[in-house]
Amino acid sequence: MATFTLPSLFILLSLLSVAHSGSIGINYGRIANNLPSPAQVVQLLKTQGVNRIKLYDTDSNVLTALSGSNISVTVALPNEQLSDAAEKQSFTDSWVQSNILTYYPKTLIESIAVGNEVFVDPKNTTKFLVPAMKNVYASLVKYGVAESIKVSSPVALSALGNSYPSSAGSFKPDLVEPVIKPMLSFLKQTGSYLMVNIYPFFAYAANTDTISLDYALFKDNKGVTDPNNGLVYKSLFEAQIDAVYAALKAVGFGDVAMAVSETGWPSKGDENEAGAGADNAAAYNGNLVRRVLTGSGTPLKPNEPLDVFLFALFNENQKPGPTSERNYGLFYPNEQKVYDITLTKDGLGNGPTMNNGSKSTVVTAPEPALEASKVGNTWCVANEKAAREKLQAALDYACGEGGADCRPIQQGATCYDPDTLEAHASYAFNSYYQKNTRGVSTCDFSGAAYVVTQHPKYGSCKFPTGY
């Protein structure tokens, strides 16, 4: 039996503690024409305590802004460059020189995502993936940075042919020999990890008759028992991760580590997108952050830390597809939170939290509230203690991109008087709040507003209850 001195025992316990802690990062997508500058984004990340991000390219302005920030970044070689990267190491040599060595190590590039969801790329680039990964790695070795920069590739969960029950997880047979095994062999040989994009939202939206919303959102639920091994799952997210672990084991690579390179929940969606909404997005992401930063691993691998990148930093107004695609952001382009969740372990202990994982912003009614409300009705009003600059910025957002009906507070209209910033902001905030079905944290505006339970009334202006 081994014995430990007190110092060595302390070190061992410290290492075990680190081994069981997960990490939260954010995907910084930029398919939009209204985003803040990269320098502003870096400051936003710092204020939120975010120290890991993932990009979809190697944009010079972004990587320059990240220099000296101590924010670790995953960069990407896009799908359209896979064929060149696969065919010529001279291409990857040049790419690494221009896109990595120009910025590293002042910009903390920790990994390179070679392609993105290549198996579902309509341009059929799968055959180029592993050769491209090998050439990128060879270039990193050539320039002496392969030990500190990992090479991987994000895989969609659709690469699995079976994901239920988790213990029966398996890759699609047509992918196994041509690409899955060679890729996993490369990851194992280089000490890297598999990146997987996991979205319980998609599974829930397609199977609302069989999947509990609480199970998808990490809320209290009876759980799902795997009939093959008896493991009980309390969240769809963990069940999906373990399906990937089972698939890795089935092809002989059960010791390859994994990171969740994308996961998230949209705050808006089309009518046929079941579950999309701000309440559910706050619940999913808020509870996920808590789960990752305060919990252990999954039922199948309880000692493996959960490394997760949320999708995404901003709503991106130029993304194609359904409404949900443009509404995965944690922040609006004006840097206002879409809903209020914390992203750090320290923040989890600050203030009350609800079962959906978001901070409560409900406070007592202000003085202008004169009229008793109907049971269950709530309104949103300006926080009179907020700085005027913050109120004005929030008012501009609500009446602009936020889509609030601000016609009644225009000069000469019914709610123009009293002509004060607080009164006008309150009307605009409430319009936004009601239009968004009084969703959680749609009355926050970074502390410039709060919810009241009595009908506010300024002069003769009555605030609408709903739209």
Of 36, 64, 69, 67, give the one whose Cα is nearest residue 51.
69
Helix (H) / strand (E) containing 282: helix 278-294
Is 117 in the active site?
A: yes
- 334 phi/psi in degrees, rounded to 5: -85, 10
Pick left, alpha or beta for residue 72 (phi over 0 → left; psi -120 to 50 → alpha; otherwise beta).
beta
3-state secondary structure at position 120: helix
- Cβ-contact 361, 450 below 8 angstroms: yes
Where is 382: in which H helix or E strand?
Answer: strand 379-382
Please indicate whether residue 271 is annotated as part of the active site. Answer: no
Residue 444 three-state SS: coil
Query: Could you write out the DSSP letters of every residue in 387-427?
Result: -HHHHHHHHHHHHTTT----GGGSTTSTT--S--HHHHHHH
Active-site entry in 80, 110, 117, 271: 117
Before 65, cis peptide (omega within 30)? no
Q: Other C-beta atoms within 10 Å of 352: how many?
A: 7
Q: How many CB atoms lie within 10 A of CB 457?
A: 13
CA-atom Rg of the chain in angstroms: 24
State the catalytic residue, choosing from 238, 262, 316, 422: 262
Cα–Cα distance for residue pair 30/337, rounded to 1 Å: 17
Distance CA 271, CA 277 (A): 11
- Assigned token pair, 336: 């206002």
Which among 221, 228, 253, 226 is positioned nearest to 240, based on CA atoms? Answer: 226
Give 212-218's long-range contacts (Cβ < 8 A, gap of 24+).
Answer: 213/275, 213/280, 216/275, 216/284, 217/265, 217/280, 217/283, 217/284, 217/287, 217/356, 218/283, 218/284, 218/287, 218/288, 218/290, 218/291, 218/357
Cβ atoms of residues 99 and 75 within 8 Å: yes
Indicate which residues carry an active-site annotation: 117, 262
